[in-house]
Structure 1
Amino acid sequence: MNTPSMLRALPIEHRQRLMRLAREVSFPQGTRIFKEGARADRFWIIRTGSVDLDTHVPGRRHAVIETLGHNELVGLSWLFAPHVWHLGATAATPVRAYEFDATAVRSLCQDDPALGRAVTQWAGDVLAHRLRTTRARLLDLYAPYGAGSAV
């Protein structure tokens, strides 16, 4: 199952209001988009390319949790205090994306409660999907064979 996209999650009038805040950006392959623990002050929706979400593993290289692609949301920590990245992100391929200033979007959500609810629901759906994906990935990496089987 893919991450819920903004196109499917938000009514057209909310998408249009959000897109007025977007600016187009690009990242060359290998660019560190954000680092775990840094200030979360923006987010992105991927137009083309792919982004690896990862977590720091002491003494090892970053463990990739999920690879995101077209129309997927990159970054959730901007919405929830203390606005610090809980994962890291790297451009796995060249990426073109829409970038949003988190402060401007939070302000828009506060001024329009219906938009705020829609954005929060969308982000919550994405977060739930990422938690399921992370659990499955960690079971694949670290659990004994068959440990992830349903009881």
Structure 2
Amino acid sequence: MNKPFSPGEAAEDQTGRFLVQPNGRVRPLSPHLQVWRWHVTMLASILNRMTGGALYAGALVVAAWLLALAFGPETYAAFAAIAASPFGLAVWIGLSFSLFCHLAGGVRHLIWDAGAGLTPSAASALSWLSIGFGVLATVLFWAALFLTGRVAL
């Protein structure tokens, strides 16, 4: 059995694998992307975090939309012109992808929290399903908007 490092030994460690915490405990540094072999659950986790952050930005865009509505027709027309531009549509499409992907990631986590889907193959399948749902739901949502004429370029 390996004996734990003392703070002095960890401080002298030339590999950089250990860290002395403020409370004096010696902990190994967490392995990072350079150490782990890439797999879909990592992608789904990173994507879930990124889409969660994007939804914060999306909340600001929605708040700006409501403020433009509150400030009158001229302000709303200016906002609507930006929102309907190719750049604005790209932002809205990205936000809808973030919403659908984050929703699917949340459902994936609920399944895992229930104790199901925790084997490596099931976790990979759920990860692929959540990513696929995000992409497919976004494509279908925007296809419906374009095909019904609610959105146009």
TM-score of the pair, normalised by structure 2: 0.28
Which of 1 and 2 has greater Rg? 2
Which structure has greater helix proportion?
Answer: 2
TM-score by length of 1: 0.28
With a CA cutoff of 8 Å and minimum separation of 6, indicate the structure with the bigger relative contact order.
1
The structure with the largest strand share of the pair is 1
